[in-house]
Chain A
Amino acid sequence: MTAGTGAAATARTTLLDAGVRAALRAAGAAARKGLGDPALAELVQIRASQLNHCAFCLDMHLTVAREVGVSERKLDLLEAWEEAGDVFDERERAALALTEAVTVPTASGFVPDAVYAAAAARFDEPRLAHLVGLINVVNSWNRLMVGRRIPAGSTRW
């Protein structure tokens, strides 16, 4: 990560309980394993991090997404996936719609039946449970990173 010339990138705090860190890592590893689709997992984690404005998380997951072979075109258009035509397939679209609904319950008011049903049509129950788990794990990391203002690219988090 190249240093920018903007405001000094200093975390508010880098403290985080070791038990919290370990448990959330374990939850994330279990969720990704159960979902069984590393590329989709990164799309979901990036989209949630966009909604939650988590710079550290975006930096990390965009890097991983490229490592696991997610196309630049998908990464470029992810924020406007609904309008991106066939760049995203139906399974990805269902997962992204669920990601948005679960991430922003304060705006959408619950998770709409249509969104849940579309996801349930494309993911069996174990995969759907792990997808919901993954959405929650990344939301938790988003909150831990934004709350403590961990700079993008930081090695201490």
Chain B
Amino acid sequence: MTTTEERIEYAPEHTPRMQWAKHAPEVYKAMVRLDAAARQGLDPKLGELVKIRASQLNHCAFCLDMHTKDALAAGESVERIVQLSAWEESRHFYTEKEVAAIELTEAITVLTDGFVPDEVYERAAIHFDETELAQLIAAIAVINAWNRFAVTTRMVPGHYTPGQHR
């Protein structure tokens, strides 16, 4: 039995490569406006699932830290967050609408494998009207951009508090 006082030696924390927002403030400000615009009309809990799934695919640790915390703060369950990376085998944790959004997220995130399949788009179009779907596509594009900024500049995960970037 270990005591709660036992000290665990974790690997050292890395430092970011660059403070990109400081060096490109106009780009950053436009990205913040873009993020706000893409959020309009999208259910926040669904938005966080989309952001977490894209961040998993893009291996963005900083973004996973942020969006899992924001999801929990928005009332999301631990189980649904944990199961998200294996959602195809845990579909019953999610609504059909959420599954359609997650599938579309994957298709639009990994364009290098070739286009967005018609069946994926059409399933999403059943659950989202045309305006909502355009916002969902925009939200997917925007989280992909944040993922790439954070991965490229190696932003450090672990220090986010929910709502910090709202």
Set B33, B109, B131, B148: member contacting A19, Cβ < 8 A? B33
Set A24, A53, A111, A126: member contacting B111, Cβ < 8 A? A53
Set B17, B116, B130: member contacting A147, Cβ < 8 A? B116
Task: Give Cα A120 to B17, complex, Å.
Answer: 10
Interface presence of B140 (CB below 8 A): yes
Known A30-B30, A133-B24; judge A139-B145 contact (CB<8 A). Answer: yes
Q: Check B108 against A146 for contact (C-beta < 8 Å).
A: yes
In residues 104-136 of chain A, which contact B (Cβ within 8 Å)? 104-107, 109-111, 116, 120, 125-126, 128-130, 132-133, 135-136
Which residues from chain B contact A16 at a C-beta distance below 8 Å?
Answer: 134, 138
Q: Check A17 against B37 for contact (C-beta < 8 Å).
A: yes
Q: Check B111 against A27 for contact (C-beta < 8 Å).
A: no
* Closest chain A CB from B109 CB (angstroms): 7
Interface presence of A58 (CB below 8 A): no
Q: Check B130 against A139 for contact (C-beta < 8 Å).
A: no
Set A19, A109, A149: member contacting B116, Cβ < 8 A? A149
Interface presence of A84 (CB below 8 A): no
Q: Check A139 against B144 for contact (C-beta < 8 Å).
A: yes
In residues 113-166 of chain B, which contact A (Cβ within 8 Å)? 114-116, 121, 125, 130-131, 133-135, 137-138, 140-142, 144-145, 147-149, 151-154
Interface residues in chain A, defined as those with a beta carbon under 8 Å from any beta carbon in chain B = 12-13, 15-17, 19-20, 22-24, 26-27, 30-31, 33-34, 51-54, 98, 101-107, 109-111, 116, 120, 125-126, 128-130, 132-133, 135-137, 139-140, 142-144, 146-149
What are 22 residue pairs bridging A and B, where the CB atoms are less than 8 Å apart in the complex?
A17-B40, A20-B37, A27-B27, A27-B31, A31-B24, A34-B24, A34-B27, A53-B114, A103-B148, A106-B59, A107-B112, A109-B59, A116-B17, A129-B18, A129-B27, A130-B24, A132-B152, A139-B148, A140-B145, A143-B141, A144-B137, A144-B138
